C-alpha cells in the first residue's frame, strides 16, 4: 500500500522523459522502420551497438524481446514488453523493461511536419521518479537519442 501512496503523490511530469525529433521522411516510412524487426535491427540502440536478439510480435497484445551487444562484443541483458496500442502511421504504445524491473510505458507518435517531414515524439512514463532516475542515470536519454540518429541515417 505504501508504494501506491508514494506513486500517487509523484506527478506525471516528474516521471516522464520526452524526446522529439523531426525527420526528413514520411510518417509511413518511420512507422514501418519502428514496427518490423528487419528494420529495427538496423537502427535500434546507441552508436556501435547491435541488436542480435530482436523478436517482435507487432500487434496489440503481442510481445517483443530485444538484446543489445556493445561495440566490444559484450551482450547486455535482454529486455522487452508488450504492445498496448497500435495506430498505423500515427502511434505505438508499449510497455518496456528488464525481466526483474517494473515496466515503464513508451508512446511513440508520428505527426506531419513540413512537406515530406515527420515529427516523431517518444514519450516515456516511468513507474516512479526513482525508476526514471535509475534509467536516466544509465544513459537512457543518450541511448534513445543515439538510436534516433541511426534511424535518421537508415531512413535516408
- The domain locations on the chain are 2-155
Bridge partners (DSSP) of residue 18 are: 123
pTM: 0.90
Residue-level pLDDT, tens digit, the chain, 156 residues? 344 444 557 888 899 999 999 999 999 999 999 999 999 999 999 999 999 999 999 999 999 999 999 999 999 999 999 999 999 999 999 999 987 788 999 999 999 998 889 999 999 999 999 999 999 988 899 999 999 999 999 998
Bridge partners (DSSP) of residue 121 are: 20, 109
- CATH hierarchy code of domain 2-155: 3.30.530.20
Integer Cα distance of 4 and 8 in angstroms: 6
Amino acid at each position: 500500500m505504501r508504494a501506491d501512496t508514494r506513486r500517487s503523490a509523484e506527478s506525471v511530469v516528474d516521471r516522464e522523459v520526452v524526446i522529439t525529433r523531426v525527420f526528413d521522411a514520411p510518417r509511413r516510412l518511420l512507422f514501418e522502420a519502428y514496427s518490423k524487426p528487419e528494420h529495427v535491427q538496423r537502427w535500434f540502440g546507441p552508436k556501435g551497438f547491435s541488436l542480435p536478439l530482436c523478436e517482435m510480435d507487432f500487434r496489440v497484445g503481442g510481445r517483443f524481446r530485444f538484446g543489445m551487444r556493445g561495440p566490444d562484443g559484450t551482450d547486455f541483458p535482454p529486455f522487452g514488453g508488450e504492445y498496448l496500442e497500435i495506430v498505423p502511421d500515427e502511434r505505438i504504445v508499449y510497455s518496456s523493461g528488464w525481466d526483474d524491473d517494473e515496466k515503464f510505458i513508451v508512446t511513440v507518435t508520428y505527426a506531419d511536419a513540413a512537406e515530406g517531414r515527420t515529427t516523431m515524439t517518444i514519450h516515456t512514463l516511468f513507474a516512479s521518479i526513482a525508476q526514471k532516475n535509475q534509467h536516466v542515470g544509465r544513459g537512457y536519454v543518450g541511448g534513445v537519442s543515439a538510436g534516433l540518429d541511426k534511424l535518421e541515417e537508415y531512413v535516408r
